Chains A and B, each alone.
Chain A
Amino acid sequence: MTDPLALEPILGPLERGRPAFNDDLPQDERFALFESHIAAGLKVEATDWMPDEYRTSVLRFVEMHANSELMGVLPEREWLMRAPTLRRKLALTAKVQDEVGHAQLLYRVAEDLGKSREAMFDDLLAGRTKFHNVFHYPTAGWADVGMIAWLVDAAAIVAQQALRDSSYAPYARTMRKICWEESVHIMHGRDVVVTMAIGSAAQRAAIQDALDRWWGPLMQMHGPRSPRDKDRDLHWRIKAKTSEELRQEFLTIYVPRILELGLVIPDPELRFDEVAGAWRYTEPDWEELRRVVTNHGPMSESRLAFRRLAREETRWVRESILGVPAAA
């Protein structure tokens, strides 16, 4: 028989009951209580009171993530038709389906913070909100499809795993589901690349070429270094790791896996500094990153235009049958 004392849930007093900042207190008191709550590692739900800054920051963060999943579909979508075997076609279709599903999950989190899905699409397509740099570049061939599915997804999952403990609980829960689904994508991508690495001379050349073109954007993906104490998203524990921490983690795991395929990483400066305990690399082109995420990348405008067209084509279905309110 189980000792009843063992059944007493192990929770500290702060974690039980409604957080005090939800009570009708003066604004600055609520803010202070909310800050302590976050600093103590506790979580926030959609129905909790939040300072405006927190709500805005979470919404911006989640919205950009959702936008990226949605736009991330496009580089791979054109290769859905061209997958060279049935199994690869099924795998790629399932992967892209997951990305659409992730967009759904993330837009839902953002919707429950008070912004409608249509308003978010309006902002994305008008260039008022952003999506991650890697989805602004062209995919030149099947090798790119493999490289993206492997290394872009890998860099993304390094960031996403760190978000599983986000202070905003609906986002944290969504990240756990997303990470679980993403692990399959990386395996699919790696399988495509490895198969080509041991394939024909043309295939080997194609993956090296793909790596040469994607390495720059990959190194820029996590963003420029920024001091921990200045990062508001870290302060609010919306995210837990800095850009540099994520980049270092990505390099530690994936550089050996790239090299073992006989690929050459196109950065002669890249090496692990044993003394500093960190990877050294050529400084990424932050100017390129800034240009690209403000929709001046090689494919930014054409992909946004494609989305606008696709959205218009199906407007009649949404408004007549699905009950989405007609555009203002």
Chain B
Amino acid sequence: MSQGSAPDAAPRLEAWEVFRQEKVGGSMTHAGSVMAPDAVLAAHYAREMFSRRQESIRLWVVRRADVVDLDDADLLQPPLDRSFKKPGGYVMRDKLAAARKQSGQAKPRQRSG
């Protein structure tokens, strides 16, 4: 597997982000980064840094420069109320208390589901 080493272009050492999957069904999580001149060595080094003890079953390696980094607060954390999109936006405690009082029923016991 010696393709991809781009021997004619001047090599440049750069950072590659590594994501790993620990067990079947798990998500790919960020593990760290390696310095490498190209994808072939980046993959090799990722295996060494993040799976030499067989601790991963899958690795993704991507050039840091290719990662689209979104951290704009206006986009991710816009200021207007969005509670209708979240469970915390539906507080019914007082209304339920009123309903139970009216119906004479006690609060239902939590059954473990």
Contact = CB atoms under 8 A, between A and B. Distances in A.
B12 A1 contact: no
Contacts of B14: 323
A8 B88 contact: yes
B87 A108 contact: no
B2 to A, nearest CB: 14
Contacts of A117: 35
Interface SS of chain A: helix, strand, loop or mixed? helix
Contacts, number: 55
Contact of A323 (B12, B48, B87): B12
A323 B37 contact: yes
Interface residues of A, number: 28
Interface string B67-84: 001010100110000000
B77 A322 contact: no
Contacts of A324: 13
Interface in B20-49: 32-37, 48-49
A105 B71 contact: no
A236 to B, nearest CB: 23
Contacts of B49: 101, 104-105
Interface in A94-109: 97, 101, 104-105, 108
B104 interface: no
Nearest to B79: A17
B86 A8 contact: yes
Among B13, B15, B33, B86, max chain A CB count under 10 A is at B13
A4 B77 contact: no
A322 B37 contact: yes
21 contacts: A5-B88, A8-B87, A16-B77, A17-B73, A18-B71, A18-B73, A47-B69, A97-B52, A105-B49, A108-B15, A108-B32, A108-B34, A111-B15, A111-B35, A112-B33, A177-B32, A321-B37, A323-B10, A323-B11, A323-B12, A323-B13
Given A8-B86, A8-B88, A322 B11 contact: yes
A319 B86 CA distance: 54
Interface of B: 10-15, 32-37, 48-49, 52, 69, 71, 73, 76-77, 86-88, 113
Nearest to B73: A18
Nearest to B92: A5
Given A320-B11, A322-B13, 16 more contacts: A1-B113, A5-B87, A5-B88, A8-B88, A17-B76, A17-B77, A101-B49, A105-B32, A108-B15, A108-B32, A108-B34, A108-B35, A174-B32, A322-B11, A323-B12, A323-B13
Interface string A169-208: 0000110010000000000000000000000000000000
Contacts of A47: 69, 71
Contacts of A97: 52
Contacts of B36: 322
A7 B88 CA distance: 9
Interface string A57-98: 000000000000000000000000000000000000000010
Nearest to B89: A8
B13 A18 contact: no
Nearest to A321: B11
B22 to A, nearest CB: 13
A273 B33 CA distance: 47
Contacts of A314: none
Interface string A289-328: 0000000000000000000000000000010111110000
Contacts of A323: 10-14, 37
